[in-house]
Amino acid sequence: MNDDLPDAVKKCLDILDENLEILSNIEIDLNDEKNDELVPEMKLHHLYDMSEDVAESEKIKRAESKFMRRQSEDF
Write the pLDDT tens digit of every residue in 27-42. 888 877 776 676 678 7
Question: What is the DSSP secondary structure assignment for residue 30, as one 8-state letter?
Answer: H
Question: For the chain, how many structural domains are there in total?
Answer: 1
Position 2 scores a pLDDT of: 62
Q: State the pTM of this model.
A: 0.44
Write the pLDDT tens digit of every residue in 2-22. 667 778 888 888 888 888 888
User: What's the pLDDT band for 48 if we cut at 50, 70, 90?
Assistant: confident
Rounded-to-integer distance, Cα 75 and Cα 65, Å: 16
Domain that holds residue 62: 4-74
Position 38 scores a pLDDT of: 66
Q: How far apart are the first and last CA of the chain?
A: 22
